[in-house]
Amino acid sequence: MLLIEKARVALAPGKGLGEHGDDYVRFALAENPQHIRQAIRGLKSVM
């Protein structure tokens, strides 16, 4: 919830990505470049 509340970024568990996906998460970046930069800044602020 920290990423959603603080960075305003959501992610999905990697389980749906295949046999070895358990150790991964998925970010969907189907946005315009400005929103992607905003998401990156949000991620940096919580890391």
**Predicted local confidence at residue 12, as pLDDT:** 85
Categorize the per-residue pLDDT at 16 as very low, low, confident or very high, splitting at 50, 70 and 90: confident
Average pLDDT over residues 3-29: 84
Domain range for 14 is 2-46
Number of domains, the chain: 1
Q: How far apart are CA 4 and CA 7, in angstroms?
A: 6
Kindly tell me if the per-residue pLDDT of 42 is higher than 80: yes
**Predicted local confidence at residue 2, as pLDDT:** 79
Q: Is the pTM of this model over 0.85?
A: no
Q: Assess contact for 25 and 34: CB atoms under 8 A.
A: no
**Predicted local confidence at residue 10, as pLDDT:** 83
Residue 23 has which token pair?
A: 């150790």
